[in-house]
Amino acid sequence: MDVLVIGGGITGAGVALDATTRGYAVGLVERSDFGSGTSSRSTKLVHGGLRYLPQWQFGLVREAAIERDRLRRLAPHLVTPLPFLVPLYSGMRRPLGVKIPSPLLSLTGPIIRTGLWLYDLLASADLRHTRVAPEVLLAEIPGIRTDGLSAAYRYHDAQTDDVRLTYAVLWAARKAGTLLLNYAEVIAIDPGPPAAVTVRDRLGGGEVHIRARHVVNAAGIWAEAVARLGGDVPFRIQHSKGVHLILELPLQAISALVIPETDDGRLAFLVPWRDRWILGTTDESHDAALHSPTTTAAEARYLLDHLNRYLHVPVGPDAIVGAYAGLRSLVRRGDARPADLSRSHEVIEHRNAMVSIIGGKLTTYRKMAEDTVDALVRRDGRQIACRTSTLPLDPEADADRITAAARQAGLDAEQALHLLASYGSGTLRICQILGEDPLLRRRLVPDLPVIAAEAVYACREEQAVSLADWMLIRSRLAALDRRRGEGCADDVAAIMGGELGWTKTEIAMQLQAFRRAVAAEMAFADELRSSPVYWSSGSIDPPSTIR
Ligand SMILES: Cc1cc2nc3c(=O)[nH]c(=O)nc-3n(C[C@H](O)[C@H](O)[C@H](O)COP(=O)(O)OP(=O)(O)OC[C@H]3O[C@@H](n4cnc5c(N)ncnc54)[C@H](O)[C@@H]3O)c2cc1C
């Protein structure tokens, strides 16, 4: 094999696609399920990154904005535009993370306006930011505070489904010739070159040995550990934790809301996503275990507190339907706080057959992959140009054809759009599955468009092997459904069991593992409900007193 990619998140997926389309024979191994690491735990924004401007990271903003616009062209069903509302209040000291010295406080408006103008410019935005009247702000976010409001703006970025984006890239790579293996963990590397890599099959229990001329370490937060297997660790990673709450709110999903100031000098977002709202995120150093991070009551309270500072009617814990926590891998630089560390990426060439790609963002995965494969090409003394900058991720994903096929298969408009946005041309295969068994058209949760046929599709076409993976990572039902997927777990287990030949005992074990995972993810909720917080008092600080 020419290239073995370690890690089946968005970074590894991007590298596999790039290397395969440049003619390399590529294999990708993923220890758990594809996309189950940080790539399922982002805010799901495809953005230039307004908050990097105060850190003077103009290069990163520019690069990310170019990639954002490119992804909108290459995967329009998956990456869609999203407007953001930014309310500003008098007395703010660090709006949007910009530290404004006291003598300049009266100039806050012009300073922020300059930042937004710069953002438009760096992002070559087709839609420029505009000033928004308080009535418009109120119409979109009823209940938002307008007392003390000094100005409000709307700017434009994009959003995606991080897991579906990862799968789209992985399956584009597979179509081009990449061999994909999940539940395949690299446990030893004889670094070569060429490298001899030992991979453990976590389902079957066996081991395979793979010889590869190049090994790409795209293991995200585990990149240091993987580098150690090869005996050369020329970088250090700092881990930072970010949590999100998924809320059910009585709001029309038109724009995202920027929470313009946090106590730790950042900004946060309230983003409409799949009939719910994502509230996030935090950014704190994390030195504990890397596997399956979970939300704490303190982190959930922090997020609700910050949102409630801007609302007349506070949002309480009952609005939380789900939560997820993720870890960033940031390139360590001295003692800098995680929030101040750059989100740019680094390609690191080891003294052996390994190349590591660390840091970066979901948004910039394609450029990260291009830079990584450029390093392989250079090492080989060859010249092969990158092909992904103009390569549509799913050329067959014609929106009209797909939604028409879904409607013809008996699905309603909401379901058709959901399938298009999630599976692109894979929707046509789902329609075939519906042809075999029309009962699979049933919704798994009454107020969500997810249908039973998606579980069949995941088993037949996308190597799904676990109920917990499908419920928590792939469909997100456990996080989007008020009942955390409990109402449909037996149904899905039976469907997947039928596809994968599970015995009754295996189905019971799958259900148990799913319930354990949900309980761990939502363990914070009871503690949150039992503690006195903002929303029980009914009165909150006016924005002018926020630091
Ligand atoms: C809270 C938060 C919010 C974010 N929001 C955004 C956002 O809105 N927009 C944006 O652009 N970016 C965002 N990011 C950043 C983005 O999510 C990450 O940059 C990206 O998902 C990292 O992908 P990855 O493939 O490098 O890592 P991962 O997705 O973690 O993939 C690495 C994979 O390697 C596998 N692996 C590890 N060891 C081995 C081994 N020994 N053998 C085989 N496989 C192995 C793991 O199982 C894992 O699946 C956010 C990050 C966080 C934490």
- Are 231 and 289 found together in one domain? no
For the chain, the distance separating the N- and C-terminal CA atoms, rounded to the nearest angstrom, is: 56
Residue whose CA lies nearest to ligand 1 atom number 51: 42
Q: Which atom number of ligand 1 is nearest to the Cα of residue 280?
A: 1
- Are 244 and 135 found together in one domain? yes
Q: Which atom number of ligand 1 is nearest to the Cα of residue 44?
A: 8
For a pLDDT cut of 70, what percent of the chain falls above it? 95
Which CATH number covers residue 242? 3.30.9.10
Residue whose CA lies nearest to ligand 1 atom number 19: 361
- Are 136 and 28 found together in one domain? no
Residue whose CA lies nearest to ligand 1 atom number 2: 42
Q: Which of 32, 361, 371 to mutate to test the pocket of ligand 1 (most atoms within 8 A of CB)?
A: 361
- Are 408 and 271 found together in one domain? no
Name the phi and psi angles at 192, rounded to 5: 65, -150
pLDDT of 431 > 50? The answer is yes
Residue whose CA lies nearest to ligand 1 atom number 27: 220
pLDDT in tens, 84-99: 999 999 888 888 887 8
- Token readout for 79 is 């990456």
pLDDT of 211 > 90? The answer is yes
- Are 305 and 267 found together in one domain? yes
Per-residue pLDDT, 545 = 33
CA distance 196 to 215: 9
pLDDT in tens, 227-252: 999 998 998 998 999 999 999 998 88
Q: Which of 6, 36, 38, 269 to mutate to test the pocket of ligand 1 (most atoms within 8 A of CB)?
A: 38
Residue 58 lies in a domain: no
Pocket of ligand 1 (CB under 6 A): 6-12, 29-32, 36-39, 41-45, 185-186, 218-222, 226, 242, 281, 326-328, 360-363
Residue 12 CB partners (closer than 8 Å, separation 6+): 5, 6, 28, 30, 216, 218, 219
Residue 289 CB partners (closer than 8 Å, separation 6+): none
Distance from the CA of 535 to the center of ligand 1, in angstroms? 34
Helix pair angle (399-408, 426-436), 10° resolution? 10
Residue 57 lies in a domain: no
- Are 445 and 507 found together in one domain? yes
- Are 179 and 191 found together in one domain? yes
- Are 493 and 418 found together in one domain? yes
Amino acid at 240: S
Average pLDDT over residues 189-218: 94
Specify whether the CB–CB gap between 16 and 173 falls below 8 A.
Answer: yes
Residue 281 lies in a domain: yes
Domain that holds residue 278: 81-159+238-331
Total domains in the chain come to 3
Per-residue pLDDT, 288 = 81
- Are 150 and 18 found together in one domain? no
- Are 217 and 105 found together in one domain? no
- Are 218 and 252 found together in one domain? no
285 pLDDT band, cuts 50/70/90, is confident
pLDDT of 181 > 80? The answer is yes
